[in-house]
Structure 1
């Protein structure tokens, strides 16, 4: 805990190392699951993310939310900067406020929270949408989210094999060795066609601006998490795959405004707004169906939301202080 003045004397400050030390996927997954149900059933109030461009490959975003009328509220302030090697860094803060006094009570490293809660959200979606017998995971990308997704999904699925593809083969090899060592699941680097051949579950966690995955590359019955693209100018999957799959989103309003894959497919006349089959919170709550048959391709578009960040920050605050919010 820390603070710089009387008004901030009770402020809990959590750096990235402490977030990673305390926040396990076992803790994050149920917190994110409940946050997504609450987002879909109206217990969360949040605004569209606000973006300020800071030049090529540089963005500052503000994401506010309130978890319920009398629950915790706050915001994430984050910068997303693209590095020379194509990777992206998420840096910022999650600020949590007390629901009774209105005072700020927790300030946490947003990069660390984002890394964990994003993968936790994909694990939740995969558990809900992938076939019950799905056991082969393909990960497209070699950054922080690639590893996080392997670790998180291994917590909710009994995996037989993890295949990792990246433009830099050596990074894919290194990541595969790390994932195998930490999960105990056979993990190997693979060329893109080999990684996708018969894969039951696919995560796109790249920094690609244009699609790396098309409909003809995905096996019938597969589930795809579309995660790496976070704005309207980026698309990791092609319009033909958007149109071919059952398209489920984390939040309808945000995807209609910022979901690059959906917006490109819509602009091409391949889909209209009715193609969004459900929000994942509706599926989790049983209000709408997820997968409808074994050969259906299910798609989960993840943009990430302040509701997830605040739910995880609230868990961290309670874990550290013992105080229930």
Structure 2
């Protein structure tokens, strides 16, 4: 049994490797090549969760599951909020062959998926990124988005001005791009071409009225029905793309809130990102259109990323 720990994942699962892997995984997902169930989530005390995500990369392909805990308060203590394992099984004999650090895979592949969506949906001339949130996903999203657009400026907002400023200083030094902490969320997104909501917010922190025409938004922080990061007007007024139609219809909090308000119906999910990537459905239709990518995260992304690390190790 091969074990790939956090340090090895962080070192080897680069964005240059992961972005194309996630891109192909989402095309395979939307064309029906992969197999997976909706995630099972057990709520725990104090907003914590325990989740199980099983899936297969195809009928005669690797399969496995991600078993993960989510403890949102961990970031403030210097730990990952997502902790767990990705367990891989080989397709020939059904044997378990590898265990991979799920927290680090999740951090990287989630941002890689947003980068894939941004590359497909954001305007080609997008240069300014806004991050609502300053945790681990904010950092990984800044790194990943910079791989698909030549960023000229990044703004960040979070509820702690001190932490937002520390994040800005660290990321500016790392990326060589000016990163500034905004006094509020409205100011953070005022000039943004790309916005990523990567928070633990339970109520909207981003409003559609704040965005300039042509903005692309990655809605990432809420991964189950309940907490919402953006308001109903943004959902209803956007071209709304999902990572999984089935997943968003069942667990996409922002979509479900706008639907409950009577503003949209299920047809408002115009496509899965895999359909856009495969050329089956048009993504952005005009320079002024607001596009939204709702990310729930799917185990085929984890399995494909983890399997690539395993196979590279085996081939040495």
Length-normalised TM-score, structure 1: 0.94
CA contact (8 A) 1:163 1:189 kept: yes
Aligned-pair distance for 1:22? Answer: 1.1
Is the 1:229–1:236 contact (alpha carbons within 8 Å) kept by the matching residues of 2?
Answer: yes
Q: Do the aligned residues in 1 keep the contact of 2:131 with 2:157 (CA within 8 Å)?
A: yes
Q: Which structure 2 residues correspond to residues 62-141 of structure 1 after superposition, within 5 A? A: 62-83=52-73, 89-141=81-133
Q: Shift of the alpha carbon at 1:184? A: 1.3
Q: Is the 8 A contact 1:193 1:217 kept in 2?
A: yes
**TM-fit CA distance, 1:63:** 0.4
CA contact (8 A) 2:238 2:290 kept: yes
Tell me whether 141-150 or 177-186 shows the greater mean CA deviation: 177-186
SS of 1:242 mapped into structure 2 = helix
Match in the other structure for 1:34: 24
Q: Is the 8 A contact 2:154 2:178 kept in 1?
A: yes
Structure 1 runs of 4+ off > 4 angstroms?
A: 84-88
**Further displaced range: 23-32 or 85-94:** 85-94
TM-score by length of 2: 0.97
User: Match for residue 231 of structure 1?
Assistant: 224
How many residue pairs get aligned? The number is 313
Kept in 2: contact 1:98–1:105 (CA 8 A): yes
Instruction: Return 5+ residue gaps in structure 2 as ranges.
Output: none
Tell me which of 254, 257, 264 is aligned to 2:250. 257
1:1-325 matches, within 5 Å, as 11-83=1-73, 89-191=81-183, 192-322=185-315
**CA deviation profile, 1:126-170 (whole Å, cap 9, x unmatched):** 000000101000000010000000000001111110111111111
Determine helix, strand or coil for the equivalent of 1:229. Answer: coil
**Unmatched runs of 5 consecutive residues or more in structure 1:** 1-10
- The two structures, once aligned, show a CA RMSD in angstroms of 1.4
Check conservation: 1:135, 1:160, Cα contact below 8 A: yes
- Asked if 1 retains the 8 angstrom alpha-carbon contact of 2:232 and 2:254, the reply is yes
User: Any conservation in 2 of the 1:86–1:207 contact (CA below 8 Å)?
Assistant: no
Once residues 25 and 249 of structure 1 are traced to their aligned partners in structure 2, the CA distance between those partners, rounded to angstroms, is 21
C-alpha distance in 1 between matches for 2:253 and 2:186: 24
Q: How many angstroms apart in 2 are the aligned matches of 1:78 and 1:84?
A: 14
